[in-house]
Structure 1
């Protein structure tokens, strides 16, 4: 019975209470114990709230520190803020690791973000795509190290060169560029405790020169950093593998990249993922280069932090392999161009109802 019930008879109606005194004391103790429990519960709630508030504040400091170390301090006009204006970015994943020292871009994605629809479209380009630039023909993944080698002489940054080249290639303006190396990718996965994937086939590749050791078995798996890196990189088996495993083309790699990115989004948006955000920020800070303004990076984080994976549309562009290049399917390329333009224009909504083949479950 509730202690606030006002229908209880008064204690002294018509004289002395008929209840034994001992019973009265017992009831009083129960009431006191209940109040104590409420006080205890209130203290726990307050401590929990303060703890969360403190943690959020700590994360904000971490983000601020990372941004100060990563972005530039140029101003951003209010109308150009990512909070109100769609932005585009080229995302490059290089094979750089201390053991190799190389900068080939094995991952190339162009992303458009829209703040009104809280959605994004990501187009991935095969690393072996044949691209001709100023009379020079090369694989797409070779241009970033080529531009790096020219930076001092040309005075133009490799990131600016990549933005210019892919803006022409995809017929959309590219605002920003970011590069993250393989070590950073591996560290981010480890910071989140691994990613869940469904491995489509056995994969084995060993290379003593750079320490690569891919040994994955077909089926559902939770992969840690190095194994997740091997999963998205795997191309073919090596002589050190017995038995040898099937080869994988650029298009399958792009699908695996999308699968892992979706899994990372899932991980980040769990309670445990939020608790690991500090480690993720540290992993990114040490292994990423970005040409975005510091304040704009804050705008992006605050606007798209809780983006739903259902509102992230991946479009891997495919084509025909004819050694040593991939010749892109023009119809798919045109669809990718249009998808990026639609995202910028705010037309990319209700992504769940679109072609399911473009989404990784």
Structure 2
């Protein structure tokens, strides 16, 4: 697993340079990748109900290694206390090496109730807060990345501090996933079924973007699914209708639901190796291996009904989204309420749910 002090995982080395290393570390890399993949599924809600993931986990629990072997006190483990994780989805891909965070989510996990609350913030949110220059929310991560050597602070740590301050909550961990990982996961599962809500056409020769989708029920591959969730405006003739952050959030949710259905099918088990490889090169986290293992043990049977998704909306006035303060306050309260929940007959859900 990549150490966050180094940012996102480096590109794969040349064959001659890395062949020996790949051969000697093949088995260890598999298990690192497996745990990264489980975390990815957990945070976006896909893990809910996936009993076969727990079955596979039991087969490898004695050989887990995520690269971060710091010992976690028992009182700090996922089974003992609620945790909060920041999830960033960046637009980084091999043909477009930038780090704009197009997905910004904060997930709280509560072991007492086996439940989670996920808050999603629009990427174009105008953030004005003491200590930070006003800018779009998705621009801070690449700015922090560019200033790492000068500031001496890791970009991911700065994002945890800033988003934590914005939401009035302490963030324990951060995970970064890039667009290439998204595309590869979709392809590894054989594509996703969605309903494209409108015709979409946009081309950009600078980064190879070529969005060309027509409305209706579609089966999309990884590239097309990424186009579907990213589409904002048209530069084609004739022009197609544009989209805002809220349209994109709805499409993102639709794709995630389709991935949930795919992941919870038995057929996904046969594709497990390919999915693991797709996530390995495109994700990094600061979660310790001991904590990662405990998260899976604690939440492997979390129910879909116990995963609450709270997208925060606002008003679009180009080029920003101005957040609805009432919705933002409600999201803050939802995260804090999740952390404070105690088990009772009304909140505990059976593992068979």
TM range (shorter): 0.7 to 0.9
- State the distance in 1 between where 2:263 and 2:102 align: 24
Deviation at 1:59, TM superposition (A): 8.5
Residue aligning to 2:84: 88
Residue aligning to 1:189: 186
- State the distance in 1 between where 2:308 and 2:199 align: 28
Q: Is the 8 A contact 1:184 1:286 kept in 2?
A: yes
Q: Deviations over 1:109-142 (max 9, x none)?
A: 1111122322221111111111124251110000
- State the distance in 2 between where 1:87 and 1:176 align: 8
Q: Secondary structure at the match of 1:98?
A: coil
Deviation at 1:347, TM superposition (A): 6.6
Residue aligning to 1:178: 175
Gaps of 5+ in 1: 1-52, 352-361
TM-score, normalised to structure 1, is: 0.75
Q: Secondary structure at the match of 2:195?
A: strand
1:339 aligned onto 2:337? no
* Rg comparison, structure with higher value: 1
- State the distance in 2 between where 1:298 and 1:268 align: 20
Deviation at 1:56, TM superposition (A): 5.5
Q: Alignment length, in residue pairs?
A: 293
1:313-324 to 2 correspondence within 5 Å? 313-324=308-319
Gaps of 5+ in 2: 1-51, 348-353
Residue aligning to 1:217: 214
Q: Deviations over 1:285-328 (max 9, x none)?
A: 11001111111112223333343333222111111122221110
- State the distance in 2 between where 1:151 and 1:64 align: 36
Q: Deviations over 1:152-200 (max 9, x none)?
A: 2222111110000011100111111011110011111111222222222
Change (3 A) 1:307 1:175: same
- State the distance in 2 between where 1:323 and 1:253 align: 16
Q: Deviations over 1:16-48 (max 9, x none)?
A: xxxxxxxxxxxxxxxxxxxxxxxxxxxxxxxxx
Change (3 A) 1:64 1:339: farther
Deviation at 1:348, TM superposition (A): 10
Q: Is the 8 A contact 2:112 2:342 kept in 1?
A: no
Q: 2:143 aligns with which of 146, 159, 177?
A: 146
Q: 2:297 aligns with which of 302, 324, 347?
A: 302
Q: 1:120 aligns with which of 116, 120, 126?
A: 116
Deviation at 1:58, TM superposition (A): 8.8
Q: Is the 8 A contact 1:266 1:309 kept in 2?
A: no
Residue aligning to 1:22: none
